[in-house]
Structure 1
Amino acid sequence: MNQGSERKNISRRHMLKYGMGALGAGSLTAWLGTGALTKQFDSSARAAELLQAIANDPGAAKSRMTPDEALKKLMEGNQRFVSNKQQNPRQNMARLTEVAQGQTPFAAILSCADSRVVPEIAFDQGIGDLFVVRVAGNIAITEDIASEEFAVSVLGSPLLMVLGHERCGAVDAAIKGGELPGVIDSLVYAIRPAIEATKGQSGDRLSNAVKANVLLQMKRLQTSPVISQLVEQGKLKVVGGYYDLDTGMVSLVS
């Protein structure tokens, strides 16, 4: 195998390491995974055209909820979970059959991959209710943004939440720094701007950084013309959440 071929086979996410080193910690977009968004999907007019085509497609999913109604439903489910009054709705074979031919999730979530944070359980929702993308550190790289674009534009989810959590290992690793095995360090590069933004803040450093990372990833999601246009049109709300591992409670981050 020649040197050129070897370069092509470098992991996409490993490339983040080199991109971030060159671009600096403040960049919101240039490090985004495969770089699909850096093609300069050059006009909001084109984005609007695509969104209009989706809206006019009779086969496209349509949500009957407003963004505020979806957020209310999500948070009410979390209150049931915290109060140990779960309804465990839509978790049976009848629901499985109902959604087998199509899905209309009322909320999309970008969550950490931590095994202790399970959105469907934490929000007391059922099969087909949530469109969940899980990745360590709940980072918004190209593939994750693309997945959420699908959820909000094609499936019609009116709410998009970035869900961070207490004592997040990925954020803690970004704070501590140092060498990490494999390509795990790509997560650190994606989170590092949030660490820099919280330097000198009072309170718990890790909690501050987790919340700052939620806000950072919300901004990165909204670099997508598909997502930003839906927000501008009032069809979508992007919010942040912080999951307390000790209580199960989700609080909004702003």
Structure 2
Amino acid sequence: MCQECETQGLDRRQLFRLAGGGLTVAALLAAAGRPAAAASSASQWAAVPVTPAEALARLKEGNLRFVKDAQSCAADLSALRGQLAGGQHPWATILTCSDSRVSPELVFGGSTLGDLFVIRNAGNVLDTGALGTIEYGAEHLKSPLVVVMGHSNCGAVTAACDEVTKGSEIGGSIGKMLQPILPVALAAREGAQDFVAETVRQNAISGARRITEESDILRELVGSGNVMVVAGVYDITSGLVDFIEAI
């Protein structure tokens, strides 16, 4: 069952909590005496219903629910749209591939409107646009978790691996877009039992590492404990996400 089914007919933002974790958003807003959209910049972190670790736990729990019971359900999206019209507070930011078999909202257990801040491109490449979007999600929307997620049988990574092993050059803008994957593929080639699979994994890890290496904003937020950055690989056959937290 998806998250929307579990809270159907109720305010999802008021119910988001994990075992052992803090106040609900409703309690926070009641204490503040104003809606989330009107919260000051100094108190916006408090308006986020989860810590980085709780956000990661929620993704893991949602992914297991997706694997066990991936059936869809009818969600009251019209009411939810009204609730979110004044602002958004996504609890996770996902950089992943544009592959049609990879849908973060489904992969993580029926996440719905307002939950995930998603960036997608071929090969989940951390380019300027992706990094700027991640910065916006973390700094302005107060999203406490960033996940760079590759997936099995990735066509973009396979093309990069073919360029390394066969000299097959990809033309057009996609060729330029895949340039950051090439050094990852070169490094992963040595001793890899499955060249493409290892490159997928290392590409996700590389992207996650580069976020804090190339962004002063994210480096500060991670250093303060307000944001966590992890990598992951989604298996398109089993539906499981292998999270890589030590990056």
**TM-score of the pair, normalised by structure 1:** 0.74
Taking only the aligned residue pairs, the percentage that are identical comes to 38
* Structure-2 separation of matches of 1:87 and 1:141: 33
* Structure-2 separation of matches of 1:134 and 1:168: 13
* Structure-1 separation of matches of 2:160 and 2:76: 37
Q: Which residue number in structure 2 is paired with residue 185 of structure 1?
A: 175
Q: Which residue number in structure 1 is paired with residue 120 of structure 2?
A: 134
Tell me which amino acid in the other structure corresponds to 2:158: D
Tell me which amino acid in the other structure corresponds to 2:125: I
State the 1:89 CA deviation.
Answer: 8.7
SS in 1 for 2:61: helix
**TM-score of the pair, normalised by structure 2:** 0.76
1:198 equivalent among 178, 188, 191: 188
Q: Structure 1 unaligned runs (5+)? A: 1-54
Structure 1 segments, 4+ long, off by >6 Å, are none
State the 1:101 CA deviation.
Answer: 1.6
* Structure-1 separation of matches of 2:239 and 2:229: 21
* Structure-2 separation of matches of 1:133 and 1:65: 21
* Structure-2 separation of matches of 1:130 and 1:250: 16
Q: Which residue number in structure 2 is paired with residue 229 of structure 1?
A: 220
| Cα 1:162/1:89, change in 2 over 3 Å | farther
Per-residue deviation, residues 107-159 of structure 1 (Å, max 9, x unmatched): 00001111110000110211110000001110111111000100011000110
Q: Which residue number in structure 1 is paired with residue 203 of structure 2?
A: 213
Length, aligned pairs only: 200
* Structure-2 separation of matches of 1:161 and 1:228: 15
Q: Which residue number in structure 2 is paired with residue 240 of structure 1?
A: 231
1:113 equivalent among 77, 82, 98: 98
State the 1:59 CA deviation.
Answer: 8.7
| Cα 1:89/1:252, change in 2 over 3 Å | farther
* Structure-2 separation of matches of 1:156 and 1:90: 25
State the 1:68 CA deviation.
Answer: 0.5
Per-residue deviation, residues 86-112 of structure 1 (Å, max 9, x unmatched): 685965211111112210000000011
Tell me which amino acid in the other structure corresponds to 1:185: G
Q: Structure 2 unaligned runs (5+)? A: 1-38
| Cα 1:86/1:239, change in 2 over 3 Å | farther
* Structure-2 separation of matches of 1:96 and 1:182: 39
| Cα 1:227/1:111, change in 2 over 3 Å | same
Per-residue deviation, residues 63-100 of structure 1 (Å, max 9, x unmatched): 13111100001111111100016685965211111112
Does structure 1 retain, via aligned residues, the 8 Å contact 2:151–2:200? yes
Alignment of 1:51-90 (within 5 A): 57=41, 62-84=47-69
